[in-house]
Amino acid sequence: MLGDFNVPKFIENDTFQDKTSIILNFMHSFGLGQFNGVVNHLGRSLDLIMSHFACEVTRDISPLAYEDSHHPALIINITNIFVKESRFRFGSNQVTYNFKKANFCDLYRELYETDWAFLDDYSS
């Protein structure tokens, strides 16, 4: 996840700022690290690069577009991303499910309209 979070003095151990505290809580909740150490002309890093994967962030010395002095152009290099092999073997006799085609609206409606009172007859 990356973007302009407008926290000029973002330091991972500075929990005295409200914005910093909120971002750190979010990062810790999802196990993210912040990898951007590139600063702008004022010595601030306004753009945060958060990821589960270690990445290298450097300043792009020849950007393709006009560079804003507050937001230097960045090059983000992510390596060692391991993608799990699919457990579904297409073309075999094995049944597979395509959950992207599910009608979740009808599913939720059916679950909502179901009379679940019969479950009261079972003791835990």
d(CA 49, CA 46): 10
Give per-residue pLDDT as tens, 104-122: 888 889 988 999 888 888 7
Intervals of the chain under pLDDT 70: 11-17, 83-92, 94, 123-124
Residue 117, token pair as written in the block:
């009172």
pLDDT of 90 = 62
DSSP letters of 8-28?
TT--TT--SSHHHHHHHHHHH
Q: Is 107 left (phi over 0), alpha (psi -120 to 50) or beta?
A: alpha
Helices assigned H by DSSP within the chain:
18-29, 104-113
The pTM of this model reads 0.59
Residue 13, token pair as written in the block:
């151990």
